[in-house]
Amino acid sequence: MKVIRSKVIGYCFGVANTIDKAEQSIEFSREKNIPCYSIGSIIHNKDVVKHFEDLGMVTTSSPQGKEPGVALVRAHGIPDALRREYEDAGFSLVDSTCPIVAKGADTIRNAASKGFRTIIIGVSGHAETVGLQGVETEKGKVVPSILLCSVRDAVDLVASGIIDPDEKIVVVVQTTFPESGFQQIREVLKGAFRKIRFSNKPCGATAKRQKAAIEMAGECDAVIVIGGRDSENTWNLARVVEKQTGKPVFCIENSDDLNGDLIKRLSGFPTVGICSGSSTPTATIKKVEELLERI
């Protein structure tokens, strides 16, 4: 089987930064002989999570009942109140929040101080969205926001009349939100509100990754997307490639998923392309590639 790699594959900048900060956190905890924690899963990849757990990093969601130590703030960021809770409990925080995500949080904070209403476009319950919904202007004062998860949500918001057409509005979008969905929501909001400002758009690295995967798919008979099952950007990548190219798309987490049934199905494709979500390690990609080349 011939295997073609996407030109954009492996970690994005934000994830690579988090991995570096995680390694620094482990080293610091050993030097100081204190516990090491990650506030939530370090990234959406179980192999990476296990790797750092094996090194001593404990995943936690609250400082309560935990011995103070060093705690990593993951790439998605966390609500301001949770950050303060760890600091007040005596934890040393290592902040690996993606700079693009952090900029979105700062935008919400600054715009609220100038009288803007906040709208967040994102996936409900996603770690990044939860962090954006927890931005404070001052201690204990969370910025009120409206979360839109779909075009239908945007249409319903406009129809509800909750926001005056002349009210000042700032919009912040989750960095891994689908570009097509964002553009559709954007058009609905632009047509309804006169003083609306869109502060950002889905991450450019995500768009480049999707474009590269689509281009690669043009040279392949099928596509394999490698990434964590709970990784939003991985699933979005798979959906975009399938929709834009019509090629068969298979999602796997790692080489363990290349079992007998899947290998049998893949053996019918002379050329297979591989791409990955932004949280997939190079070693995982390489192992999948090597196994496929032996089919």
How much is the pLDDT for 178?
87
Nearest C-alpha neighbor of 144 from the set 173, 180, 170: 170
From residue 215, give the alpha-carbon distance in Å to each of 4, 176, 248.
Answer: 11, 20, 15
In a structure prediction context, what are the per-residue pLDDT tens digits for the chain, which is 295 residues long?
899 999 999 999 999 999 999 999 999 999 999 999 999 999 889 899 999 999 999 999 999 999 999 999 998 999 999 999 999 999 999 999 999 999 999 999 999 999 999 999 999 999 999 999 999 999 999 999 999 999 999 999 999 999 999 999 999 999 989 888 999 999 999 999 999 999 999 988 888 999 999 999 999 999 999 999 888 889 999 999 999 999 999 999 999 999 888 998 998 999 999 999 999 999 999 999 999 998 8
Q: For the chain, give every residue range classified as CATH 3.40.50.11270.
A: 13-97
Q: pLDDT value at position 97?
A: 94
CATH fold of 2-11+204-293: Cobalt-precorrin-4 Transmethylase; domain 1 (3.40.1010)
Domain 100-198 of CATH type 3.40.1010.20: yes
In whole angstroms, give the CA distance from residue 19 to residue 128: 17
In the sheet that 271-276 helps form, which strands lie side by side, from edge to edge? 2-5, 271-276, 222-226, 249-252
pTM of model > 0.85: yes
User: Which residues make up the CATH 3.40.1010.20 domain(s) of the chain?
Assistant: 2-11+204-293, 100-198
Question: Whole-angstrom Cα distance, residue 172 to residue 107?
Answer: 8
User: Do the beta carbons of residue 226 and residue 275 sit within 8 Å?
Assistant: yes
Q: What's the start-to-end Cα distance of the chain, in Å?
A: 6
Q: What's the CA gap between 83 and 68, in Å, rounded?
A: 14
Q: pLDDT at position 295, please?
A: 80
Angstrom distance (rounded) from CA 235 to CA 140: 35
Q: Which CATH architecture has domain 13-97?
A: 3-Layer(aba) Sandwich (3.40)
In Å, what is the CA distance from 38 to each residue of 30, 76, 104? 15, 12, 22
What b/e string do you get for 99-133 counting C-beta neighbours within 10 Å, with b at 16 or more? ebbbebbebbbebbeeebbbbbbbbeebbbbbbbb
- The one-letter amino acid at 294: R
